[in-house]
């Protein structure tokens, strides 16, 4: 087999590995993302628990990068402290290393089982959670299959005359090997995928274990680099966690690299096979980083946060200027450009509302005055955006617009009205309930709180679908949004029935919080209905929306 054919097979196997990893991650995110985020927010106060929570989340997402970005957003929103967030990210890196160890077992039998079961579940069910579970199983099957393909594709490399030359050079120049591994991991955008590739090469004796360990150190630096670069457009507080993780990871990797360059690495203590030695070295590195990093995390994060704030003294002003420049008056004479500007402004409105929708339920759980005041400020921001967008749309010359542009104008205007009403429901209705709960010291029953949290998670999921529809105008997503509305109506009905059952049983907390519980259900349902209305113009345009939802019996006509 020629060298080019070997590289094609190897590239295809690596591409499948990257795709399968992404497939598992998106399946977990769509099915269980909101629940996992809520659990993570509630467990980051204790350093040990934060480490374990970060590791568990990384195992679920199969990505420490996703956890780093997520925790960084929590820190930026003030939900968790910076040092606690950094500790959780260190735990996530250990969780990612444990995923590599799990995948290093012989799981070949799971390939047909996972792909068959996942495909069957995905095709036969209409339930969103089960569909995503099927996606996860298919992703796991493809992930294991890709590892087999990497092994088969790399087998001919044993006879290569060029590979030994490259390996010998990298073995003699560990700094170059370290940097190449960091860059390759960044290009893969997955440390798991790159480390599995290194382990596969080591298992076939195509790479010495000592060089594999050097590549592992570089991969850990590259893994931290991915999150740091992906968060570069986020506010400074949100960037502080990924950047702190990169600094700690990079310094520790360089120290370990210097150590193994000066002293012989006892690879035989790491495992019985080359692949296990490489994987165990990866786990040992991340475990050692946690041990060293736990006491240093507050100091490192404080210095990085101070540096970021010092280098971004006018971030608020820059963001305000960018937001104002979206509605460029110079574009009004070109309706297509003007509508594109309005769409950008509406995206900002959606982002603000998503934050409001997330934070309001957290205030239900732990009400506090500063959080309530911050929510009111966000609503004022939504109102200002709404007013600016209306005035801007009114200035577009109607005689210069095509029929399609006129429809889009009305669609964006109606969407802004609906979004502004969502903000009003949050601040004028739900915040009133929070005040009442705070003043009276009320608490929901565990069952009642679980029901409200589940309902809120469904509404938040619908909000993301609605925002996607508004931008992409995708008919499939619009149809899914309307179907979610029908599903939520059933959830709301069952929630009410269970609440009344608790009232019949004279459950004290249910009696005390009855009005709060039912009013919150009503508000969430109204918000969901407003969000679902964003799908109607898209469905109507494609002839997928009827004129009425009423069904009349023949004798009633």
pLDDT at residue 317, as a whole number: 41
Cβ of 497: how many Cβ atoms within 10 Å? 9
Name the band, by pLDDT with cuts 50, 70 and 90, for residue 160.
low
Domains, the chain, in order of start with CATH, read 3-311 (no CATH), 320-554 (1.20.58.220)
pLDDT: which is higher, 389 or 513: 389
For 268-290, how does the pLDDT look when each residue is reduced to its tens digit (9 = 90+)? 788 888 888 999 999 999 999 99
Average pLDDT over residues 308-321: 50
Distance of CA 399 to the CA centre of its chain: 43
Name the band, by pLDDT with cuts 50, 70 and 90, for residue 44.
low
- Phi and psi of 224, rounded to 5°? -70, -30
pLDDT: which is higher, 315 or 124: 124
pLDDT at residue 431, as a whole number: 87
pLDDT at residue 508, as a whole number: 64
Q: At what angle do helices 82-103 and 274-311 cross, to 10 degrees?
A: 160
Helix (H/G/I), strand (E/B), else coil: 406? helix
Average pLDDT over residues 170-180: 90
Q: Which two tokens stand for residue 551?
A: 């069904």
Cα–Cα dist 343/49, whole Å = 42
Flag whether pLDDT at 325 surpasses 60: no
DSSP readout, 244-274?
A: HHHHHHHHHHHHHHHHHHHS---GGGG-SSH
Q: At what angle do helices 209-230 and 163-172 cross, to 10 degrees?
A: 80
């Amino acid at each position: 087999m020629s060298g080019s054919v070997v590289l094609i097979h190897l590239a295809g196997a690596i591409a499948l590995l990257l795709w399968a990893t992404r497939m598992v991650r998106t399946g977990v995110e769509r099915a269980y993302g909101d629940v996992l985020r809520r659990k993570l927010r509630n467990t980051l106060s204790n350093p040990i628990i934060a480490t374990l929570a970060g590791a568990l989340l990384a195992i679920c997402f199969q990505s420490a990068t996703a956890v780093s970005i997520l925790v960084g957003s929590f820190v930026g929103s003030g939900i968790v402290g910076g040092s606690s967030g950094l500790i959780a990210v260190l735990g996530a890196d250990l969780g990612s290393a444990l995923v590599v160890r799990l995948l290093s077992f012989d799981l070949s039998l799971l390939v047909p089982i996972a792909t068959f079961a996942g495909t069957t579940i995905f095709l036969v069910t209409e339930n969103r959670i089960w569909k995503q579970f099927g996606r996860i199983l298919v992703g796991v099957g493809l992930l294991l299959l890709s590892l087999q393909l990497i092994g088969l594709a790399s087998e001919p490399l044993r006879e290569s005359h060029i590979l030994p030359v490259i390996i010998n050079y990298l073995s003699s120049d560990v700094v170059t090997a370290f940097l190449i591994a960091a860059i390759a991991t960044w290009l893969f955008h997955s440390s798991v995928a790159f480390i599995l590739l290194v382990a596969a090469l080591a298992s076939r004796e195509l790479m010495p274990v000592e060089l594999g360990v050097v590549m592992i150190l570089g991969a850990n630096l590259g893994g931290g680099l991915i999150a740091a670069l992906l968060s570069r457009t986020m506010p400074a507080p949100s960037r502080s966690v990924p950047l702190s993780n990169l600094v700690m990871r990079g310094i520790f990797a360089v120290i370990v690299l210097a150590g193994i360059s000066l002293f012989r690495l006892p690879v035989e203590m790491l495992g019985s096979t080359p692949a296990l030695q490489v994987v165990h070295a990866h786990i040992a590195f991340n475990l050692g980083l946690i041990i060293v990093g736990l006491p240093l995390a507050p100091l490192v994060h404080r210095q990085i946060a101070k540096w970021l704030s010092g280098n971004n003294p006018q971030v608020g002003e820059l963001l305000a200027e960018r937001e104002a420049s979206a509605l460029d008056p110079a574009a009004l004479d070109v309706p297509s450009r003007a509508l594109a500007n309005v769409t950008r402004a509406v995206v900002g409105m959606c982002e603000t509302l998503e934050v409001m929708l997330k934070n309001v339920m957290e205030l239900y759980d732990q009400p506090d005055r500063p959080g309530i005041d911050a929510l009111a400020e966000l609503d004022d921001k939504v109102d200002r955006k709404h007013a600016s967008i209306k005035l801007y749309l009114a200035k577009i010359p109607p005689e210069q617009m095509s029929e399609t542009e006129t429809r889009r104008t009305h669609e964006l205007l109606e969407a802004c009205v609906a979004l502004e009403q969502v903000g009003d429901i949050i601040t004028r209705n739900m915040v009133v309930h929070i005040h009442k709960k705070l003043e009276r010291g009320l608490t929901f029953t565990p069952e009642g709180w679980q029901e409200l949290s589940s309902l809120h998670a469904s509404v938040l999921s619908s909000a993301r679908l609605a925002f996607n529809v508004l931008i992409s105008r995708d008919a499939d997503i619009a149809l899914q949004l309307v179907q979610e509305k029908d599903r939520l109506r059933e959830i709301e009905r069952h929630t009410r029935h269970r609440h009344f059952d608790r009232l019949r049983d004279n459950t004290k907390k249910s009696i005390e919080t009855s009005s709060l519980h039912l009013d919150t259900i009503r508000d969430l349902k109204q918000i969901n209905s407003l969000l679902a209305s964003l799908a109607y113009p898209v469905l109507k345009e494609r002839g997928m929306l009827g004129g009425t939802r009423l069904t009349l019996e023949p004798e009633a006509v």
